[in-house]
Amino acid sequence: MKKQHQIVIIGGGTAGIMTATQLLKKNNHLDIAIIDPADTHYYQPAWTLVGAGAYDYDNTARSMASLIPQKASWIKDFVTSFNADENTLETKNSGQIGYEFLVVAPGLVMDPSLIEGLPEAMEKGIVCSNYTDPKHTWETIKNFKGGNALFTQPTTPIKCGGAPQKIAYLAADYFRKSGVAKDTNVIFATPGSVIFGVPEIKRTLMKVIDRYGIHFKPFYAPFKIDADKKIAYFKNTAEGENQCVINENNPLGEKMSGDAIIEIPFDMLHLAPPQTAPKFVKESNLVNDAGWLSVDHGSMQHTEYKNIFGLGDVAGLPTAKTGAAIRKQVPIVVDNLMLLLAHKEATNKSYNGYSSCPLVTGYGKMVLAEFDYKNNFIPDPKLKQLLIRDSSKEHWRLWMLKKYMLPYLYWNKMMKGENV
């Protein structure tokens, strides 16, 4: 096995494959190696629909071998550490690999241990999560007979920050269809202060919450799960006065202990596990204070090592970690790498924080949140070609985009290096 490559890409996910394919479209003589141990590549954005029984899980998977570009080398291994000063990295089984340029795109990892009792609750099947097993989520929703259906998320950054509320809306819709809504309290508890940071989207989502009668609980940060008693424990995240409000007549059976701890009993719990950068990234000298890869917000070039770039979920960027963000980041990283290969400076700093969250609000309904670093609503003009005049409002055509068009574009365009 070759131990030195011109460009090494860590990660065979969306960011890694797209970067490799676009680089090879620019110059198919480049020596590129992709390091990833996985046999299977998943289209994870569809897992929300899998969790609601609206998409086939098997259709979200493709073999990694079918996606690695033919002109790239695939090192099927784990990275264990970096030595950026020597332009090398260590792997679990393949030894030391050297590089001229490095692209760090390994994604993120789930770390349930950051919430007390969560690993045990997940192991027992008490907690479901679209992030780890969307088929289990669907079985849980399908067999739910009433009570408190609690949906929540951690204080850490997570991939697709809107996903925990999407499944709450779909579940609420399904409970209406299955006839258990009258016996059910759907609760969405979030550490955040608002339902969504983009004002235009927030207005629509508050109407959706009202339509389903969802109990919206801002400032609720989960820190402990008691799987045996089926109780979730939350801390107040608001500065100053406790903003965790127990509803009048207390239909949820909440209990307040002390000034800032609140308990919610549940009959069903969907939780996005806490998420962090992979261990080999967190323990390196390449991260920012929050433990994510330290990169320039416009160019994705590392803040100290100029021959290193980072993008996708591992990057320390103040925007949502989504496939849509990667779609905009990749061409900029590719452009900058081509400039460096030509012995020029990486001057493309045009990434504006674009990200997108397809907020499914029910079966056949969706809102499309597109925004930048400043949470400005920046809808794609191409949506008008789909006869969608205002994507901040619910539309059935947006549902069709989510269920059919986006998966097609992903497998047939993005994974093949085409800009979409």
Overall residue count recorded for the chain in this entry: 420
Decide: 272 and 122 in contact? Cβ < 8 Å: no
Give the separation between CA 39 and CA 49, rounded to whole angstroms.
23
Of the residues 108, 160, 360, 369, which is catalytic? 160
Of the residues 163, 330, 357, 360, which is catalytic? 357
Question: Phi and psi (nearest 5°) for 7?
Answer: -130, 125
Decide: 11 and 38 in contact? Cβ < 8 Å: no
What is the maximum span of the chain, computed from C-alpha positions, in angstroms? 69
Question: Phi and psi (nearest 5°) for 186?
Answer: -90, 125
Give the separation between CA 202 and CA 374, rounded to whole angstroms.
15
Phi-psi region of 262 (alpha: psi -120 to 50; beta: other; left: phi over 0): beta
Decide: 277 and 291 in contact? Cβ < 8 Å: yes
Residue 244 a catalytic site member: no
Instruction: Estimate to the nearest angstrom the gap between the alpha carbon of 290 and the chain centroid.
Output: 17
Return the structure tokens found at 279.
């261990």
- Residue 71 half-sphere exposure toward CB, CA atoms < 13 A: 15
Look at strands 261-265 and 231-236 and give their pairing. antiparallel
Radius of gyration of the chain (CA): 22
Decide: 109 and 276 in contact? Cβ < 8 Å: yes
Catalytic residues: 160, 357
